[in-house]
Amino acid sequence: MTPVLRSSGHLAADRRYDYARGAAAEGDHVAASDLLQQTLEIAPTWAPAWFALGESREELGETAAAAEAFAQALAHDPADSQGARLRLARLGAADQPAQPPQAYVRDLFDQYAARFETHLVKDLAYRAPSVLREAITRAAPARRFAQALDLGCGTGLMAKEMADLCDQIAGVDLAPAMAAKARASGVYAEVEAADLLDFLKGRAPAGADLVVAADVFVYCGALDAIFGAVRRVVKDQAIFAFTLQRGAEGDYRLGEDLRYAHTPAYVARLAASHGFALASCDEVSVRQDRGQPVPGLSVVLLAL
Ligand SMILES: C[S@@+](CC[C@H](N)C(=O)[O-])C[C@H]1O[C@@H](n2cnc3c(N)ncnc32)[C@H](O)[C@@H]1O
């Protein structure tokens, strides 16, 4: 990710922080830790420096000290725009949160928006939209959709893929910069910059006949409330289609990549309890991580 422009309000602290980031980028985490401790002597409540110190200590294998630094980052930035809670969970120093911090996901994708399509599609072989379209048309051949909702619409790749089958598509994305790109694509009737659950809660019941979420639930953790909110806004026989990272056990788990993976059993249980039939659940990879296909699921549900 592109580093965020941050300032502690102290020139000397900012300078040391910048040097530390440079050292960390070159793999010199001993120098980075040292510079960050100097930074924190000048600006002791500055969360970005605590967070960066946590990262360098983690790289050095100093788990307990890293957890201490992430805990300080969280204490000084309770909205948690850097995701210290996720780092603490990954280190085993806290339980996994049921959702990632909203500020973290929003900032992540706001920073990412400008280069999202090039990076994801070209570098990470991203293909969730075409995989979902294929699964939807297999489950409902030749069907047209009057009102589609694109949850976590990003820049609009999923809507572009479905546009010829839909009369109207409404999108929602937590990151305003992503929502702006989606709006500019001209594919949507409307795009809201909001949390998808709030967006769903604000819609009239039984209006939509298609809901899609391509590579979004990896940033959502628990899906129970989302399934319930989707079922409320769709008509009977509507399609609810989404991709997931495939989990191996339990319901869902935060992975090393700081994304959530969900199990097919969890999806089947939620589908049954919220009034959906499982039309298909395919094992398919929709993106790569360090050149390797990430195990995934493409799921199509039918509202009963
Ligand atoms: C990997 S991108 C996928 C974007 C798009 N669906 C696509 O296929 O190109 C994930 C998107 O989900 C959005 N997102 C994550 N959690 C969200 C939430 N709770 N509410 C709304 N959008 C969310 C992110 O801001 C990001 O734009």
Residue 158 Cβ contacting ligand 1 at under 6 Å? yes
| Residue 298, strand partner residues | 243, 282
* Residues whose CB is less than 8 angstroms from the CB of residue 96 and which lie 6 or more positions away in sequence, other chains included: 89, 221, 253, 254
Question: What per-residue confidence (pLDDT) applies to 125?
Answer: 86
Other CB atoms closer than 10 Å to residue 230's CB: what's the count? 25
| Residue 288, strand partner residues | 293
pLDDT per residue, tens digit, the chain (304 aa), is 434 457 999 999 999 999 999 999 999 999 999 999 999 999 999 999 999 999 999 999 999 999 999 999 999 999 999 999 999 999 999 999 999 999 999 999 999 998 988 888 777 889 999 999 999 999 999 999 999 999 999 999 999 999 999 999 999 999 999 999 999 999 999 999 999 999 999 999 999 999 999 999 999 999 999 999 999 999 999 999 999 999 999 999 999 999 999 999 999 999 999 999 999 999 999 999 888 999 999 999 999 9
Domains of the chain: 11-95 (1.25.40.10), 114-303 (3.40.50.150)
DSSP 250: S
Rounded to the nearest angstrom, the distance between the alpha carbon of 105 and the centre of ligand 1 is 8
Residue 157 Cβ contacting ligand 1 at under 6 Å? yes
* Residues whose CB is less than 8 angstroms from the CB of residue 134 and which lie 6 or more positions away in sequence, other chains included: none
Helix (H) or strand (E) holding 112: helix 102-112
Q: How far apart (Å, rounded) are the C-alpha atoms in residues 270 and 283?
A: 18
Nearest CA to ligand 1 atom 24: 152
Residue 200 Cβ contacting ligand 1 at under 6 Å? no
Contact status, residue 288 vs residue 124, Cβ threshold 8 Å: yes
- In the three-class reduction of DSSP (H, G, I as helix; E, B as strand; rest coil), residue 209 is classed as strand
Rounded to the nearest angstrom, the distance between the alpha carbon of 150 and the centre of ligand 1 is 9
Other CB atoms closer than 10 Å to residue 63's CB: what's the count? 13
Rounded to the nearest angstrom, the distance between the alpha carbon of 152 and the centre of ligand 1 is 3
Question: What per-residue confidence (pLDDT) applies to 5?
Answer: 55
- In the three-class reduction of DSSP (H, G, I as helix; E, B as strand; rest coil), residue 60 is classed as coil
- Give the nearest ligand 1 atom to 155 CA: 9
Question: What per-residue confidence (pLDDT) applies to 2?
Answer: 38
Q: Which of 264, 282, 266, 273 is nearest to 304 (CA)?
A: 273
Nearest CA to ligand 1 atom 27: 154
CB burial of residue 202 (10 Å; 0-12, 13-18, 19+): exposed
Contact status, residue 191 vs residue 218, Cβ threshold 8 Å: no
Rounded to two decimals, the pTM is 0.95
Question: What per-residue confidence (pLDDT) applies to 1?
Answer: 40
Contact status, residue 247 vs residue 263, Cβ threshold 8 Å: yes
Contact status, residue 301 vs residue 137, Cβ threshold 8 Å: no
Rounded to the nearest angstrom, the distance between the alpha carbon of 268 and the centre of ligand 1 is 23
Q: How far apart (Å, rounded) are the C-alpha atoms in residues 245 and 260?
A: 7
The best mutation among 216, 223, 260, 294 to test binding of ligand 1, ranked by most ligand atoms within 8 Å of the C-beta, falls on 216
Residue 107 Cβ contacting ligand 1 at under 6 Å? no
